[in-house]
Amino acid sequence: MSSFKGHCHCGKTEWEAKLEQDQQSHILCHCDTCKTLSGSTFTLNQIIPKSALKITKGEPDLGKYTYYGESGKGVHCYFCKNCTVHVYHHQEIAGPDTIVLRTGLLDEGIKNFKPTAEIFGKAKLPWEKEVAQTFETLPPS
């Protein structure tokens, strides 16, 4: 288990995530929502227990944006209200104790983590090369 620090673009929000060895990697998500929220082709994520993430600065000022996924359940996105960077997402379908962390926002994570899976491959753009095992939607649980 190691600790990884992250911060938003403006610096008003900072956080620290404790990640097990097998969580020190990126899951690429190609879904259409990630494309829109990031303005890019995929996002870098890891699924972790909520208790593993500590917002060390700016927690009371986080904004919350909720949308409804294919399941009809809410997905809550927590972001810096000043610069709009999304720190983490909570999918109701995953239960109250599990969150999706943006691994691309961890200082050491973006430099050192490797991709281990690609999800929502069905929405991947045709010119993107495969860099890890790709699933049509989610891996079978």
Q: Judged by CB under 5 A, does residue 77 bind Zn ion?
A: no
CB of 45 to Zn ion, least distance (A): 7
CB of 12 to Zn ion, least distance (A): 4
Q: Judged by CB under 5 A, does residue 8 bind Zn ion?
A: yes
Q: Strand (E) positions, the chain? A: 2-7, 14-19, 25-29, 43-49, 53-57, 62-68, 74-80, 86-91, 98-102, 114-119, 133-134
CB of 51 to Zn ion, least distance (A): 23
- Can you tell me which of 28, 62, 80, 99 binds Zn ion, judged by CB under 5 A? 80
- Can you tell me which of 27, 34, 44, 117 binds Zn ion, judged by CB under 5 A? 34
Q: Judged by CB under 5 A, does residue 116 bind Zn ion?
A: no
- What CA–CA distance (Å, rounded) separates 109 from 77? 20
Torsion angle of C-alpha atoms 139, 52, 45, 136, degrees rounded to 10? 10
3-state secondary structure 107-137: HHHHHHCEEEEEECHHHCCCCCCCCCEECCC
Q: Which stretch binds Zn ion (CB under 5 A): 2-10, 48-56, 100-108, 124-132?
A: 2-10
Residue closer to Zn ion by CB (options 34, 77) is: 34
- Can you tell me which of 17, 19, 28, 31 binds Zn ion, judged by CB under 5 A? 31
Phi first, then psi: give them for residue 109, nearest 5 degrees. -65, -45
Structure tokens at 16: 């620290």
- Can you tell me which of 82, 91, 116, 134 binds Zn ion, judged by CB under 5 A? 82
Instruction: Point out which residues bind Zn ion (CB under 5 A).
Output: 8, 10, 12, 29, 31, 34, 80, 82-83
